[in-house]
Structure 1
Amino acid sequence: MNQIRKSPINTLGYNFIPETYLPKGKDEYYLRNQQYRNGLHYRHLTAYEIEMLVRNRNTSDNWNNIIVSDAFNPELVQDCKFYGLVRIGKLEPYYLEFHNLRRPVGLYNSTIISCDFGDNVVVDNVNYISHYITGNEVILVNVNEIDTTDHSKFGNGILMEGEDEAIRVWMEVCNENGERKIMPFDGMLPGDAFLWARFRDDNTLQQKFKDFTQQQFDLKRGRYGTIGDRTVIKNCRIIKDVKIGTDAYIKGANKIKNVTINSSADAKTQVGEGCELVNGIIGYGCRAFYGVKAVRFFLAPHSQLKYGARLINSYLGENSTISCCEVLNSLIFPSHEQHHNNSFLCAALLQGQSNMAAGATVGSNHNSRSPDGEIIAGRGFWPGLCVSLKHNSKFATFTILAKGDFPVELNITIPFTLVSNDVTHNKLVVMPAYWFLHNMYALARNAWKYGDRDKRINKTQLLEFDYLAPDSVNEILDAITLMQQATGKAYLKSTKGNKKFTAEQQIEEGKRLLETKDPLVNDLEILVDGFENSSRPAQLIKVTAAYHIFKDLVTFYAVQQLIANSGKQFKQLEEQINSIPAKPVLTSWMNIGGQLIQRTAINKLVTQIHQGKVKSWEQVHAFYKDQADKYPAEKFQHAMAALQTVHGIHLKKAKPEQVQQLLQQALAVKTWMVEGIYESRAKDYKNPFRKMVYETNAEMNKVLGKLEDNSFIKQERASLDQYRKTIAALSRRMQ
């Protein structure tokens, strides 16, 4: 039976804060007065103004509780019902216009309960607005319900005074069983979400994160909902317990409940038709429209939900777009793209710069008795058309999956790899360095566009968009050793039969074959273990080419960092080189929400949180900034360690001719890359199956644009010219 409570009509609009939670000596308006400090002088209505309001068919339970500014115009208030304390700012005979919606300033045809209004607002046909504070020049038109409860949390995963733990809102990211759940809060960064979701066996750390979140907010009951200056809300049904920033635009939403909508003049947020948003945080500059459904969610700044997308128990990082599809229980780092109605993502950690193709089903996790599987994918994860994956699976950076149904769990440790399911021969086929061999244009353009499209205003976390960075380079180094061993093992098996060899012997033999580019390698079936949870073979292809590309990439990475840290004066370069330790050490790195941080630094942060030296999320965010400042120098040291590991070159001890050779090798790699960018795009113009839909080359050029006019290719060629000059200048300085 529904519990319908009856109360005296004269109490409507009063006693917002239960007496139990009112501090001694305070009234129910004490928090409201703290929120609403606009500097206006208010006064009571005059007898004439009351008479005019009554004549305009307005009613109030107590006209003494309607207080107004000196510029109040009672003629602009018509057909309204007032209950409780209502404060009204300036009302002047103007009309406000926004996107061709023109409405006169004033309050019309509305029921208003205990609200504050700024100057020159439009409130027209709002059936019910209760306990809200609006800014100046706000437009509210055709809204069924706008109200706030005394215990509203505005989407934050906190508990107000007297609330039971059972009602706390959690986001159950990464795993459907809820054991990686985190509490959303306004201002949460992807790094925060990651740290909280990962260290699950550290009970002290988990409790600290929970405490950080609770202490970040005032837990007293009685906060009013707010609508910032110049915000427009029209043709909506239910807006309940929602905090809305300035300059937001909300139109045609079905329901928004327990949500913070951040918006500003510099980063406007929009919510459009048919949206239903419950228990979440929306960042600055976001857009959600056309039938979006989001529940227990976090939409980080400058991200979009569109065209019926469903986002549930998930964190979506900055500068991301999800359209049409369904995403559940996932933690997604910045720059994610997922546009297609029939793609599905569930119980996943995607570490940025990812793209989900149509039909991709990264959610076939019910291959055990309970829904407790997970998928972890490094930066640049691209599952292709109609890919189906099994949980648990794990992928190195910039893994691309060819179209297919992958029947069992995968653990792909080699970066920049194309993974294919060869059904005909019943084997897994892995092509390392695929991007550099066959799609350099996409790899380079994506790295550029992510940085170019980073619209964040708050750049507390330094996001890494370059495909060559400590995370991918460490995987390259491991892949080089893996390819050496797999090649040596295949060769020794083909020549020595079943004789046993140590891993060191296999590596040594494989290295000899790969370094000399022995053509015998092309005839070997090179297999790897542990890439797939099955007994069928997993084969590496194009190993010789990939091996040398990976070695060249380490050279290029090292010179890139040398250039980035060289400065304009030779003294700076000399100091940088002299900073290289006698024995450079490869460090382990973690992708913390798109920011790469050394594992030792993360361990230190965790220790400081345990010890109480880091006491808040604000201090955690200060840690991110500090690591961002250190990153260029640490990345340089990492590059120098990688260079010595692969090529045996210690830059501080290297002979001049070695340095010159290194610089020229890097220039050759850059030249090859730019040529690869052009050639991979040129295939679209040369392939007869692509050309056959055009009657003439002129028509093709009109539709696709001329290859010679491609702005990105032009940009990369100009970059190559500048790179030549930089290498030449660096070469002179280091002679």
Structure 2
Amino acid sequence: MNNIQKKPLSELGYNFIETTLPKGKDEYYLRNEQWSRKDQYRKLTAYEVEALVRNDNTSDDWNIIFVSDEFNPQLVQHCHFFGMVRIGKLEPYYLEFHNLRMPVGLYNSTICACDFGDNVVVHNVNYLSHYILGNEVIVANVNEMATTDYAKFGNGIVKEGENENGRIWMELCNENGGRSVMPFDGMLPGDAYLWTRYRDDDALQQQFKNFTEKQFDKRRGYYGMVGDRTVIKNCKMIKDVTIGTDAYLKGANKLKNLTINSSADASSQIGEGCEMVNGVVGYGCRVFYGVKAVRFVMASHSQLKYGARLINSYLGNNATISCCEVLNSLIFPAHEQHHNNSFLCAALIMGQSNMAAGATIGSNHNSRGADGEIIAGRGFWPGLCVSLKHNSKFATFTLISKGNYMSELNIPIPFSLVVNDEHDNRLKIIPGYWFLHNMYAIARNSWKYVDRDKRTDKVQLIEYDYLAPDSVEEMFHALAIMETATGKAWYALPENTPKKELTEKDLRKKGKELLLHHQEEVSRLHILATGFENSSREVQLLKVHRAYPVFREMIVLYGIKNILAANKPSFLALQAVAKTAKRGEWLNIGGQLMKADTVTLLKSKIKKNKISSWPQLHAAYEEIGSGYAADKLQHAIAALLDIKEVSLKDLTPALLAEWMNETTRTMEWITIQIKRSREKDYKNPFRRLAYESEKEMNAVVGSLENNSFIHQTITDLESYKEKVHQIIGEWEL
């Protein structure tokens, strides 16, 4: 039976706070703290009351209707007021937004205990309760817009007198809730990542809970806020939602328990048919056309469109999800997913990622509970109709070919193409596929993500370059894998059977020798890897003889590019940096790369309460980001010396100049590869089938000769050569 209560009409608009009020406070004390203009209002005059009554307005007590000096009672018609209401300036104007023109004033609405700024438009709001509206706000054709005294506005807290069971948790990365976090306004991707990891560290986990608890006031009685110039029209239900300035809400079905951040330079929009419950919408977000979002955080400038479902998930900055379904996932910045039949579940996706149509990532559970996970480094790209199984892990920039992958995967080689060869019943890996076959895409993506980073508050320094400490460390690991696998394949030949039992060191040594000096011989070997798939079938590495030297060249290029970026360093200055340079593990903390040692120190500071709040942790991100270029330079020099197998004492200006000149040839090769990989699209006869002529194709897709990115790479190549020449000249070799 529905519990419908009958109460005296005289109580409507009063007794908002249901718990005991602090001594000496009335039910409006928090409302008055929120509304800085509370002292700018006066009581109605007898004339104004008479005019309001004549215009078919009612109030249970005209003595608690307060107005500004420039209040015009003729602009309030057919409204019913309950409780204390404060109304700002009303002038005979109309407000226009996107061809919607409505007169200033309050019309045909029921209003309970609300405050209004200057020249607001409130039309046909069936029930507007306990809200504070800023200046020039438009609210039209809304069924219900109300705030409860226990409103948390999407934050994972509990208010005074509430039961802990009512707390909202966001179950990221795992469906069983074992990595749950409390969502909060201002949550960065790094916050979500650190909180979901290290679950065995109770002290760290408790600190994150403490940070969230103390960031928000637990007192009951806060009103919903609508910032200046926000437009809300044709919405059905808005409950416990606070909204920033310049937002645009149109045709939403249900918005409940939300913070919608918005500002003049990063306005957020929510469109037709959307239903969003228990979450946070970041600055500059777009949500349109039947979206369903429950227990979520959208970081700034992210988008949900065309019926997308985002449930128990964090969506990083500058990411777009359209049509599909995403559950229990933590997604770092710059993610793209546009297809109605793609599905992402229980996954950690580390950004710069793209999900193709039919991709089903994480639906195949292979345990007795829904507790599996997918971990994918940045640049993750599962192709058409890829189905992956928990638990699986992928290195940076892994491309997965169409197929149903029936076993768990662990792909440690970056920039790889993964192929499920059902005909031969074999898993095949092509290391360095992006470099060998699609340089255009990987180079353009790095440029594109930087260009599309619309964040106005860049607290975390996000790395978009495909050559960065994380991917370079993985390349070093991949070189070792290729060396061992090649040596093992060579010794597996009958004519090369070893006379003694070989160690991994022996295998690596032989494999390295072959890969450096006998690449034709390597090309004929049947090279197998182990530990890549949880199955008994073979895992074959293809084109190792081509990938191996490219990885080495890319590591050298990474080292030299960072040296060149260090503001024209002298050789002595580089030597000083190199003295402390060392390689080591790097972690992707929400798109921001940090040394593992830095993260360990960060966690220690959190546990010791030296970092005692989310704002302090965000300040630490910025501090770490400010030192990133120096840390990266040290890592780059260490990587360069390691790949060249040269000690610091043997490094000379002449040797470094030789390596710089070597990278100009690598850059030339990259520039050629960028054009060549794009050129394939123009020379493919099947690509040309849709066009009557080359002229028509160029009109539709643009001509190769006019490709702005290719022109940019040619310009960058010349600049690179010039910089190398300039620095070598300054060293006076």
TM-score between both structures, scaled by the size of structure 1: 0.98
Measured after TM superposition, the shift of residue 19 of structure 1 is 4.5
- Structure 1 residue identity aligned to 2:666: V
1:590 maps to 587
- Structure 2 residue identity aligned to 1:183: M
Measured after TM superposition, the shift of residue 365 of structure 1 is 3.1
Q: Is residue 2:669 matched to residue 1:672?
A: yes
Measured after TM superposition, the shift of residue 651 of structure 1 is 5.6
Measured after TM superposition, the shift of residue 574 of structure 1 is 3.1
- Given that residues 290 and 307 in structure 1 are in contact (C-alpha distance below 8 angstroms), is that contact kept between their aligned partners in structure 2? yes
Distance 1:560 1:536 in 2: 41
Measured after TM superposition, the shift of residue 493 of structure 1 is 1.0
- CA deviations over 1:448-498 (Å, ceiling 9, x no partner): 000010000111100000000010000000011110000000000113448
Distance 1:318 1:650 in 2: 41
Q: Is residue 2:341 matched to residue 1:342?
A: yes
Measured after TM superposition, the shift of residue 523 of structure 1 is 1.4
2:506 maps to 505
Q: Is residue 2:532 matched to residue 1:531?
A: yes
- Structure 2 residue identity aligned to 1:37: S
Distance 1:576 1:158 in 2: 50
Distance 1:346 1:259 in 2: 23
Distance 2:533 2:515 in 1: 25
- Given that residues 93 and 104 in structure 1 are in contact (C-alpha distance below 8 angstroms), is that contact kept between their aligned partners in structure 2? yes
- CA deviations over 1:340-372 (Å, ceiling 9, x no partner): 000000000000100000000002232221110
1:7 maps to 7
Mapping 1:296-695, distance limit 5 Å: 296-494=295-493, 495-497=495-497, 500-565=501-566, 567-568=567-568, 571=570, 574-581=572-579, 584-650=581-647, 653-695=650-692
Distance 2:690 2:55 in 1: 68
Q: Is residue 2:701 matched to residue 1:700?
A: no
Distance 2:510 2:40 in 1: 86
- Given that residues 126 and 140 in structure 1 are in contact (C-alpha distance below 8 angstroms), is that contact kept between their aligned partners in structure 2? yes
Distance 1:131 1:650 in 2: 70
Residue identity over aligned pairs, in percent, reads 62
1:729 maps to 726
Question: What secondary structure is seen at the aligned counterpart in 1 of 2:705?
Answer: helix
Mapping 1:200-211, distance limit 5 Å: 200-211=199-210
- Given that residues 651 and 659 in structure 1 are in contact (C-alpha distance below 8 angstroms), is that contact kept between their aligned partners in structure 2? no
- Structure 2 residue identity aligned to 1:288: V
Distance 1:534 1:698 in 2: 51
Distance 2:92 2:518 in 1: 83
Measured after TM superposition, the shift of residue 575 of structure 1 is 2.0
1:237 maps to 236
Measured after TM superposition, the shift of residue 622 of structure 1 is 1.2
Distance 2:195 2:671 in 1: 41
Q: Which segment is superposed worse, 335-344 or 655-664?
A: 655-664
Q: Which ranges of structure 1 fall in alignment gaps of 5 or more residues?
A: none
- Structure 1 residue identity aligned to 2:590: G
Q: Which segment is superposed worse, 509-518 or 371-380?
A: 509-518
Measured after TM superposition, the shift of residue 650 of structure 1 is 4.2
Measured after TM superposition, the shift of residue 41 of structure 1 is 1.8
Measured after TM superposition, the shift of residue 304 of structure 1 is 0.3
Distance 1:266 1:40 in 2: 30
Distance 1:659 1:366 in 2: 52
- Structure 1 residue identity aligned to 2:349: L
Q: Which segment is superposed worse, 46-55 or 108-117?
A: 46-55
Distance 2:675 2:390 in 1: 37
Question: What secondary structure is seen at the aligned counterpart in 1 of 2:236?
Answer: strand
- CA deviations over 1:213-233 (Å, ceiling 9, x no partner): 010011110000000000000
Cα pair distance change 1:445/1:518, threshold 3 Å = closer
- CA deviations over 1:272-292 (Å, ceiling 9, x no partner): 000000000000000001000
- Given that residues 579 and 648 in structure 2 are in contact (C-alpha distance below 8 angstroms), is that contact kept between their aligned partners in structure 1? no
Question: What secondary structure is seen at the aligned counterpart in 1 of 2:690?
Answer: coil
2:246 maps to 247
- Given that residues 256 and 278 in structure 2 are in contact (C-alpha distance below 8 angstroms), is that contact kept between their aligned partners in structure 1? yes
- Structure 2 residue identity aligned to 1:384: G
- Structure 1 residue identity aligned to 2:143: N
Measured after TM superposition, the shift of residue 39 of structure 1 is 6.7
Measured after TM superposition, the shift of residue 733 of structure 1 is 2.2
- Given that residues 387 and 403 in structure 1 are in contact (C-alpha distance below 8 angstroms), is that contact kept between their aligned partners in structure 2? yes
- Given that residues 577 and 652 in structure 1 are in contact (C-alpha distance below 8 angstroms), is that contact kept between their aligned partners in structure 2? no
- Given that residues 19 and 161 in structure 2 are in contact (C-alpha distance below 8 angstroms), is that contact kept between their aligned partners in structure 1? no
Measured after TM superposition, the shift of residue 190 of structure 1 is 0.3
Q: Is residue 2:715 matched to residue 1:718?
A: yes
- Given that residues 365 and 371 in structure 1 are in contact (C-alpha distance below 8 angstroms), is that contact kept between their aligned partners in structure 2? no
- Structure 2 residue identity aligned to 1:437: L
Measured after TM superposition, the shift of residue 697 of structure 1 is 1.2
- Structure 1 residue identity aligned to 2:576: N
Q: Which ranges of structure 2 fall in alignment gaps of 5 or more residues?
A: none
Q: Is residue 2:85 matched to residue 1:89?
A: no
Distance 2:217 2:574 in 1: 48
- Given that residues 69 and 88 in structure 1 are in contact (C-alpha distance below 8 angstroms), is that contact kept between their aligned partners in structure 2? yes
Distance 1:504 1:706 in 2: 51
Distance 1:292 1:243 in 2: 19
- Given that residues 237 and 255 in structure 1 are in contact (C-alpha distance below 8 angstroms), is that contact kept between their aligned partners in structure 2? yes
Measured after TM superposition, the shift of residue 579 of structure 1 is 1.9
Number of aligned residues: 730
- Structure 2 residue identity aligned to 1:710: N
